[in-house]
């Protein structure tokens, strides 16, 4: 994992690389805080923030939670009860002293796009004490009806296959869909319609506006052999080049990875269902089996804090145990 983590750019005196390595061992959830436009991160250990985390979150204008890869319906050995671990994640959110403005779910809500799976997920997530939940689909959520069921349940008032944007307290959030119309041999894909929409969506924004992009599959190339990347992400990021602060939040790979490239900070969140192996460390990216008593330490959520003025987002990866 260390091979994939670059230095952080926030100049906040926190060694993110070491920090994230710790998180990888501890398992997780992520608390993000937005400090004047840049995401900062810290782990939510045992449901409470450490002194370091609190320092990072201090003065945040608002915070939100990223939750990902619930895979409701999965029942194999890697985690026979994914509903229970999603519930633990919700409990963790509710026990935090920081009340998030909203949740972002970065996809794979379900395992097989079954109505019963979506019902269960909605039921559990409804218990989270947060303003509302924003979703983007994972490939597991669009397995039937060309994703129509996902759109009906989670993507009302979105464009195309479920992409959209919204503004929140000075930050611009963009939810992208990179799990539909995938081409043989390729990676995740945004497609020309969505790219055109994105270009138009950010056209009128001031370059000082903090931009937070969220999508299921990483928008940076983590490991193409396993499909962990998005074919046309560079074009999308090209439209965001002029912005001083861009944060990209993804799921899909069920482990924390972070990379900073110029003005863009990339971050992937843990799953609430099961871990996946580090790139190339297993024959395939399938669910990774860990001893039952260790499972919750490799699952988690992320908490993000936003502070207007000093341009940084704080991301706290928090394990479920």
Partner 1 sequence: MKRIKWIFGLAAIVVTALACTNGTRASLAMSPSDKTASSTTVKIDNFSFGPATITVPAGSTVTWTNNDDVPHVVTSDDGKLFKSKALDTDDRFSFTFTKPGTYNYYCAIHPKMTAKIVVQ
Locate 143 and state its tokens: 């397995």
Task: Say what angle helices 82-95 and 115-125 make with each other, to 10 degrees.
Answer: 20
Picking from 114, 131, 119, 223, the residue whose alpha carbon sits closest to that of residue 168 is 131
The residue from 286, 292, 309, 310 that contacts partner 1 (CB under 8 A) is 286
The nearest distance, CB 199 to partner 1, in angstroms, is 25
The answer to the question of residue 162 lying near partner 1 (CB under 8 A) is: no
User: Closest CB to partner 1 among 132 and 184?
Assistant: 184
The nearest distance, CB 285 to partner 1, in angstroms, is 7
The answer to the question of residue 299 lying near partner 1 (CB under 8 A) is: no
The residue from 7, 81, 119, 225 that contacts partner 1 (CB under 8 A) is 225
The residue from 80, 224, 280, 309 that contacts partner 1 (CB under 8 A) is 224
């450490």: which residue's tokens?
Answer: 50
The residue from 3, 97, 203, 284 that contacts partner 1 (CB under 8 A) is 284
The answer to the question of residue 252 lying near partner 1 (CB under 8 A) is: no
The answer to the question of residue 238 lying near partner 1 (CB under 8 A) is: no
Site string for partner 1, 96-115 (x = CB under 8 A): ---------------xxx--
Strand 42-45 and strand 133-135: pairing? Answer: unpaired
The nearest distance, CB 148 to partner 1, in angstroms, is 15
The residue from 22, 55, 143, 205 that contacts partner 1 (CB under 8 A) is 143
DSSP code for 188: B
The nearest distance, CB 143 to partner 1, in angstroms, is 4
The answer to the question of residue 133 lying near partner 1 (CB under 8 A) is: no
Question: Exposure of 209 by Cβ count < 10 A (0-12 exposed, 13-18 middle, 19+ buried)?
Answer: middle
In the chain, which residue ranges form alpha helices assigned H by DSSP?
16-26, 51-57, 82-95, 115-125, 148-154, 192-203, 233-238
User: Closest CB to partner 1 among 74 and 135?
Assistant: 74
Answer for the pair 183, 218: CB distance below 8 angstroms, yes or no. Answer: no
Answer for the pair 290, 282: CB distance below 8 angstroms, yes or no. Answer: no
The answer to the question of residue 55 lying near partner 1 (CB under 8 A) is: no
Locate 114 and state its tokens: 């079954």
Give residues with Cβ within 8 angstroms of 138, minimum separation 6: 69, 106, 107, 108, 109, 179, 216, 217, 251, 252
End-to-end CA distance of the chain: 21
The answer to the question of residue 273 lying near partner 1 (CB under 8 A) is: no
The nearest distance, CB 55 to partner 1, in angstroms, is 40
Residue 78 to residue 306: CA distance in whole angstroms: 35
The answer to the question of residue 76 lying near partner 1 (CB under 8 A) is: yes
Answer for the pair 171, 198: CB distance below 8 angstroms, yes or no. Answer: no
CA atoms within 13 Å, Cβ hemisphere of 145: 12
The answer to the question of residue 125 lying near partner 1 (CB under 8 A) is: no
User: Closest CB to partner 1 among 98 and 231?
Assistant: 231
CA atoms within 13 Å, Cβ hemisphere of 120: 20
The H-or-E segment that residue 134 falls in is strand 133-135
The answer to the question of residue 148 lying near partner 1 (CB under 8 A) is: no
The answer to the question of residue 185 lying near partner 1 (CB under 8 A) is: yes
Q: Total residues at the site for partner 1 (CB under 8 A)?
A: 27
Stretch that binds partner 1, among 95-103, 155-163, 223-231, 262-270 (CB under 8 A): 223-231
Q: Which chain residues interact with partner 1 by CB under 8 A?
A: 74, 76-78, 111-113, 139-140, 143-144, 179, 182-187, 224-227, 283-287
């Amino acid at each position: 994992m260390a091979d994939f983590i670059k230095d952080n750019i926030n100049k906040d005196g926190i060694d993110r690389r070491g920090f994230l390595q710790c998180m990888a061992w501890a398992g997780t959830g992520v608390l993000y805080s937005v400090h004047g436009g840049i995401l900062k991160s810290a782990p939510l250990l045992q449901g409470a923030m450490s002194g370091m985390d609190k320092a990072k979150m201090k003065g945040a204008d608002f915070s939100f939670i990223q939750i990902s890869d619930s895979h409701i319906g999965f029942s194999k050995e890697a985690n026979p009860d994914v509903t229970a671990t999603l519930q633990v994640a919700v409990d963790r959110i509710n026990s935090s002293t920081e009340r998030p403005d909203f949740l972002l779910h970065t996809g794979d809500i379900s395992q097989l796009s079954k109505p019963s799976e979506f019902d269960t997920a909605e039921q559990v997530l409804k218990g989270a004490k947060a303003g509302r939940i924003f979703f983007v689909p994972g490939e597991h959520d669009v397995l039937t009806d060309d994703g129509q069921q996902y759109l009906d349940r989670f993507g009302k008032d979105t464009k195309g296959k479920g992409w959209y944007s919204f503004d929140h307290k000075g930050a611009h959030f963009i939810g992208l869909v990179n799990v539909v119309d995938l081409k043989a041999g390729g990676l995740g894909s945004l497609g020309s319609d969505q790219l055109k929409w994105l270009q138009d969506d950010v056209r009128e924004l001031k370059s000082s506006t903090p931009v937070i992009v969220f999508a299921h599959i990483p928008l940076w190339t983590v490991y193409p052999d396993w499909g962990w990347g998005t074919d046309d992400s560079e074009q999308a990021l090209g439209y965001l080049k002029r912005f001083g602060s861009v944060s990209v939040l993804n799921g899909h790979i069920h482990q924390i990875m972070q990379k900073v490239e110029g003005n863009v900070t990339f971050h992937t969140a843990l799953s609430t269902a099961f871990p996946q192996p580090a790139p190339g460390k297993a024959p395939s990216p399938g669910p990774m089996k860990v001893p039952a008593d260790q499972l919750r330490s490799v699952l988690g959520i992320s908490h993000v804090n936003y502070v207007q003025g000093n341009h940084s987002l704080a991301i706290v990866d928090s394990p479920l145990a």
